[in-house]
Amino acid sequence: ALNRMRTDKVLHYEVETPSGKTAGTIFRSKRKINWRFETVNGSNFLNTGFAHNRGSSWQLLPKNGQRFHKEHTVLGNDQKKNWILSDLELPVQSKRAFKLGSLKKTSGGKSSKSSKQKASTSPPNSEKGEFKKRLQFLKGLRDKKLIDDAEYKYKKMELLKQFP
């Protein structure tokens, strides 16, 4: 449906999940789809240019056929780390393959155990529950190889400072 979207239209989206809100905009230009994220799992994107300030608690990782949007400025090209450009004609996974893949993840194994473990943790309103929730999220990012071990350790130390 997105490849049929008119170039003068912008789609604003907001998805609320137990992990938090994910929001942004999607639009089309020059045979590309633009995905600009403002919030992921309740955490806003902070566009800071300072090396000492790590900025956001999340980072997009472009996959094959994707790249960051580049903005041309007086100082040179600036990559927007919350803005992904992707070809309009990306390969689509069949519905059957998707259903089989999702069944494998939910039947037995780690996935069902982790959902039971999440249910047994203290309520998210308490500090301990919030800490466990954030730590689980970090572990999930590391397990999916979305962050490396160094980033995981750094973010874990930040969490420990926030929740003494």
pLDDT at 10 over 80: yes
The verdict on 74 and 118 lying in the same domain is: no
| Domain-terminating residue out of 71, 87, 103 | 87
pLDDT, residue 54, reads 53
The verdict on 64 and 110 lying in the same domain is: no
- Name, of 14-23, 99-108, 139-148, the range with top average pLDDT: 14-23
The verdict on 22 and 38 lying in the same domain is: yes
Task: Provide the token pair at 84.
Answer: 């992904």
- Please indicate, yes or no, whether the overall pTM of this predicted structure exceeds 0.75: no
Range of the domain at 49: 2-87
The verdict on 79 and 112 lying in the same domain is: no
- Name, of 14-23, 48-57, 106-115, the range with top average pLDDT: 14-23
pLDDT, residue 6, reads 77
The verdict on 69 and 26 lying in the same domain is: yes
The verdict on 141 and 158 lying in the same domain is: yes
The verdict on 151 and 79 lying in the same domain is: no
The verdict on 113 and 69 lying in the same domain is: no
- 25's CB contacts (< 8 A; 6+ apart) are 10, 11, 12, 13, 34, 36, 38
| Domain-terminating residue out of 87, 104, 131 | 87
pLDDT, residue 92, reads 56
pLDDT at 61 over 80: no
Residue 55 gets the label, from left (phi > 0), alpha (psi -120 to 50) or beta, of left
The verdict on 77 and 22 lying in the same domain is: yes
What's the structural domain count of the chain?
Answer: 2
What 3-state DSSP class applies to 3? helix
